[in-house]
Structure 1
Amino acid sequence: MPGAEHPAPEPFGYRPLAAIAAAAAGGVPQKRIGRVVSEIAPELMAAHGQGKVHGAISVQTVGLDEFGYAHVMVPVLYPDHPRAMEPASCFAAVEQFDPDPVQACGPWTDVYGLCAVMCSLVSGSPPPHALARRVEDQYVTLATRRPRGYDEAFLAVIDQGLSLDPALRPQSIADLCGMLGISCVPETQEDGGGESEHAAAAPIPRHAAGQRRGGAGARRWLVGMITIAAGVLAAACLWAWMSQDDARDDLLARRAALASRATGYSGPSGAERAGQDAAASGRVSAGAPGPGQLDVGDDDDAGRSPDPQSLAVPPRLQGPPAAPVESASPGAAPNGPAANALAPEAGGAPAARAVRPATVAVKVDIQPWGEIFIDGVSRGISPPVKSLNLPVGRHTVEVRNAGLAPYRASLEVKAGQPAVIRHVF
């Protein structure tokens, strides 16, 4: 009735599907839609087992908790609150407008509302109002529209659940789940080994479902913490390895510099070397001693002071200098076998290995989800991805979510400074 008070939402702080941009825009993946249905199915089946009908299923009354689990946020209408809300939304079945909705409604009524929610998640809009459809049905079936990414059988079941005639719809939530090919029990609920199949498929009470979902949330939190710890450990190992490479490169460069300084003696110049060779050859040709004889020179030269050049040892008979020559020019080429072993190749300085670029752990916060592309390369879907290791520098970031417009940005990663990629679709 107009002006009547709607049943108060339960105090859990869930986010309605209508308030989530990615859900309101449509294009939600088929598997995610099936998960929403399987998570609220036990609650609806429990109400139907007590002879009740919810009657208020919509994108405003179905929401997600902090772990992403779906819940129905308002209590059942029939028969507890038959006049609490006028069924004016497009998610209400035609029998809810009957003068006596308590007698006309049944599990098939919630099947209609649930299929209307699925239609909205697929196409981005609910079906037309049931009363308008009864006058002239202008609903275009999903099987006719054939949106990409969905099985034809999946779309056909949704269209059947939106039939105006209650007899043409699936008659229960269990029938709907079976036709969709999904389980009417959430994935977090494990069947007991000694229970029969009938007992395992039976609807569970709401408080039990909440406890099991809470346990699953704790397990997810533990897995997330372990993943973060593993990521931190991997980053520490990478940093240590890169630091070791840098230290080794510095040591090699220092050794090469010391070797270049130690062998910096360049010997006589080309002109001096030519003169020394000519003088030495003249002396040898003037009086070369025989084998076993000592060359004492001519008697005429005994009274003269020796020529400094005549006493110089030929360069080819000289050994390497006994000590490093500090006055030698830094760029002089070293001589000797030790210099050949330690000196770098001619024509360039010692070539140090390229230092690996430093990486920075970048935090990722995408709501509700999105596929991340860094410099055109996919780096995974967040969640569950919460962190990426990116090299220092500028990167292009693109986040995609089904049919929504992608988010694009430029990210400057600096060493020692935290960075974050955050976006809400």
Structure 2
Amino acid sequence: MSAIAAETFSASVSNVASPKAVPDTYGSKAHHLANGKGFTNPWPSLRSLIIQSNRSRWHNGNLTGPSTKDVPFKVRTPKYLPSRHADNSNLRATWLGHACYFVEYPEGLRVLFDPVFSQRCSPISFLGPKRFTDIPGKIADIPIIDAVCISHNHYDHLDLPTIKEIHRLHPSVFFFVPLGNKAWFTSIGIKNCIELDWFESRTLTLTPTSTDPDSKTVTTGQAPGSISATIELLPCQHTSNRGLFDRSLTLWGSYSVSTASKSVYFAGDTGYRTVPKPDGYKGYPANDYEHPPFIDLDECPAFKTIGDTRGPFDLGLIPIGAYKPRWLFSCMHADPRDAARIFQDTRCKKALAMHWGTWVLTDEDVEEPPVLLRTALKERGIEETGVFDTIAIGESREF
């Protein structure tokens, strides 16, 4: 089914009628810089952001870290529901590589998170990190896209060719972005772009353009067959930039996307604490949560706030990769032990992993994240399978 044939709904965005209160610690907007020119992470869990030493490792398109030769990863051909009203009473999530998930809600809503369908995550098509696993199909294979949620503007999460192709095939789709990113979308001719601050939300309503007796009504008081969702930007610990001189000028975030039946938490790209490089550094212990001087490091409080005020969630989509060396990446990328804590803090009932298995961005072995995740879950008293899982690129799970 083509995107045009599937488009039988008109979409609109409005303010949430009764928005949830902004938590007290965020009402002051401490994440906004005082001069109004950018944003910051307002927690002691991020002590520094060291990136310069990593730039030179990307110039030839590959890091000098782990090998990707003969990796056993299989990429499946994704299978999507053919229409909004396919027989499906479950929440359905399909991993499309790195941080990209396509989520199909029982009511018929279809949401795409951080889509990148290019070979390289780079401003230059022939330089920068190149995929070591295949792209799982084409954007044209996805029959319906109602909303695209972008966590921040780094090239492995916001890709120009991908965004333009989505807009071409699905011209009525709405793009939800953190503050400061709308200008980028406007510059490429996209008007359906909604900027959000942390703990700011909108209602996305899909209304049938023709009578459909098989459509599903989500809430009373709406037009028969309409679909409604609340999309809210939430905090995470990261940064932003697409060039050398725009660091942190635009906001970053995570998302809650909920309908009357199901709720999804998308963690975006995030760190959880900052693990420093100690004096006399000779490497890190196997578990830096259990050894001095790392035991009492500050942890990002945003995730517990999200869980306490917005949870529980039916499904969490949580990053587990791109974390070594810890002294360089811990402040902005969660490792599996961090991810297990984010899962618990945000009160997700189930979770799927992301942000691994696609590009070599850091130094850990490409097969390590899922192995370490199972260890981390066991340490936290969480079942090793069936609760917070890793899946194949192109694979779908139902909840």
Give the number of the structure with larger relative contact order, counting CA–CA contacts within 8 Å between residues 6 or more apart.
2
Q: TM-score range by the shorter chain?
A: under 0.3
More helix by share: 1
Structure number, greater radius of gyration = 1
| TM-score (normalised: structure 1) | 0.22
More strand by share: 2
| TM-score (normalised: structure 2) | 0.23
